[in-house]
Amino acid sequence: MSLADIDRAEFGRAQTVEIAAPAEAVWALVTDVRRTPEWSPVVAESWYEDGGPVRPGAVIVGRNVTPTREWQTTSRVVEADPPRSFAWVVGEDVVRWGYEIEPTGSGCRLTETWQVLETGFAFFERRYGDDARAQLADRREAAVAGIPATLEAIRAIAEREAG
């Protein structure tokens, strides 16, 4: 079954939280991917393949766990602009995740983004065939639920560490 008629707008999200911590501290926190399990509801372990530092082209390896499955991902950093933005693409350009950070008078504003890429829809068709729509819907539901939880956890950690 083709995904040609699927509403691609449903497979992207952006959500923002205000954080009472400096943008530089938040950028350092979210780019230290070893710490991602502290805020992600899915990531159990992650690291830079070559040990870092964060930079475009760096490879992130992650081990993810949910109640129904466990899997490993390889991602490529596509944006690393301190202290403004950090983004990576999962697999063969399947999904793009990222953070945008904007300084404010009381700290910063952190926006998390998630977008299934056009090549991602083709990946799901190839990999899952007739089950592609259901698989995409599962990923969408996980992102919609996970983004607010992730942002709240990052906010709490950043504010605690900022003292």
Distance of CA 82 to the CA centre of its chain: 17
3-class state of residue 91 by DSSP: coil
Distance CA 136, CA 117 (A): 12
- For 48, phi and psi rounded to 5 degrees? -80, 130
| pLDDT tens-digit map of 49-102 | 999 899 999 999 999 999 999 999 999 999 999 999 999 999 999 999 999 999
> Which tokens belong to 126?
């190839």
Query: Span 141-157, mean pLDDT?
Result: 97
Portion of the chain with pLDDT greater than 70, in percent: 99
| 68 in Cβ contact with 88 (< 8 Å) | no
Burial class (CB in 10 A: 0-12, 13-18, 19+), 51: exposed
pTM (2 d.p.): 0.95
